[in-house]
Structure 1
């Protein structure tokens, strides 16, 4: 039962007044209406970013997901019972796959098939900075969602409104179209528990902002991870706030560390 389906962020209405949304996936410098791509609040880089104030100090879960090395596995907190593993095709590649997992006991079980993804145009990085067109490597919480379209039935807090219209272009110069119809904020350099439109950046604006899951626009991104629109709806409906979901993301070699 979706107890949170009608919940809205208290900051969203003020942010909607900006009328213009620029994110890491549409390029440009941040403005007062930009969503943060910012990580969490630990100030750590790469796979060592804190997930949220509630989970960052807990004993990590270390078993079960193929392709993850000991350093990456050690970053998954014990409280996480859902994980989305985004595996890039290469350190400098903008394509990959996403596979969902649920934790059962001491192991992880895959959910459904892997989904195609796009990520940053220039690949992946352990030290993301504004404008590098790379996606940050690491384990990050998934706590907040939103989009231009109404809540499709997610358990996450969901913000909606016209500020989610994607007005920029992709790296190939094509309109972003419905890219922000559905988004899930990735807790890289951002304040968890706020609308994806909150532009607070604890690590500073030079470390980038607006790293989201959002609807695919047919090409690699400025730093976000994209999924086909039906898969974004499925992801939103699958994510369970009480399961403390995380994303584990990077290229194959990075995740194997």
Structure 2
């Protein structure tokens, strides 16, 4: 199984203005000469009351440290928590994980979903890296207590790090096992052909031993808890328990996944994931 490694991934200052207050000095007039026939002296003029100095203008407010983004800014929003993922679900994401593939169904009985790949930066903030992409999941929807044959997809946060398929490796950095055993035939629940569904797959670490080919049959929780839950090529209808993506989308996801980022899949109906 070849493993390809690759690397993943204002200051503004306000100006304060000061005003100088200028003060003027009044002069006193000289005394008038005394006439021969003196007249009663005139009353001295009442000096005018000086006006108080004008108040200094208020200093200008400093500019904000970070300017608001311009209208139409297309940069993705970054957040400390993945959108739609509540605190309880978020707490299940491993500390070292910086890549999360989120699969969200509308309700617990939905067999269609929307998917988005998120990545976390060095500051711990998540941003949308790829998607959204449509997907199918199990015929009867979702369950938090999956068992073999219940036709529901497990809810939870699971690691994803092993891949394979009938076709050659499209450039994945995770281990990829090309094998003819991934060939499949038959029809799906809507009568659609299943051929080519496992041309590329990504194993979801539900009831399996990580680090092995997706074809491995060991079930640590027991066979009754199901297994073989994959992300695979969409055949145009609901699945037994897997998540299915369009062929081109799956190949894009395969190439994007980076084992150094410890990727996980977060999947379930929106009300559950929001907890």
Normalised TM-score (structure 2): 0.71
> Alpha-carbon deviation of 1:89?
1.9
Aligned to 2:109: 92
Q: Secondary structure at the match of 1:109?
A: strand
**After the TM superposition, which parts of structure 1 deviate over 2 Å for at least 4 consecutive aligned residues?**
172-175
Q: Which residue of 1 is the match for residue 98 of structure 2?
A: 81
Q: Structure 2 regions of 5+ residues with no counterpart?
A: 6-78
1:4 maps onto 2:3 in alignment? yes
Describe the SS at the equivalent of 1:237: helix
Contact 2:192 2:236 in 1 (8 A): no
Is the Cα contact below 8 Å between 1:5 and 1:151 reproduced in 2? no
Match in the other structure for 2:149 = 131
Corresponding residue SS for 1:72: helix
Structure 1 CA distance, aligned partners of 2:256 and 2:209? 22
Structure-2 separation of matches of 1:178 and 1:100:
24
Verify the 8 A CA contact 1:86 1:249 in the aligned structure 2. yes
Does the 8 Å contact 1:95/1:220 carry over to 2?
Answer: yes
CA distance in 1, matches of 2:81, 2:196: 36
Matched, 1:208 2:226: yes
SS in 2 for 1:83: strand
CA distance in 1, matches of 2:239, 2:116: 19
Post-superposition CA distance 1:12-60 (Å, at most 9, x none): xxxxxxxxxxxxxxxxxxxxxxxxxxxxxxxxxxxxxxxxxxxxxxxxx
Deviations 1:92-140 (A, max 9, x none): 0100111000011211110133000000110000000000000000000
So what's the TM-score if we normalise by structure 1?
0.75
Per-residue deviation, 1:5: 4.1
Runs of 5+ in structure 1 lacking a partner?
A: 7-61
Residues 146-197 of structure 1: CA deviation (Å, up to 9, x unaligned): 0000000001110012100012432223320110000000000000000000
- Using CA pairs under 8 Å that are at least 6 residues apart, name the structure with larger relative contact order, 1 or 2: 1
Q: Distance in 2 between matches of 1:63 and 1:126?
A: 26
Question: How many equivalent pairs are there?
Answer: 200
Residue of structure 2 aligned with 1:177, choices 174, 192, 195: 195
| 1:85 CA drift (Å) | 0.4
Q: What is the root-mean-square deviation of aligned Cα atoms in Å?
A: 1.5
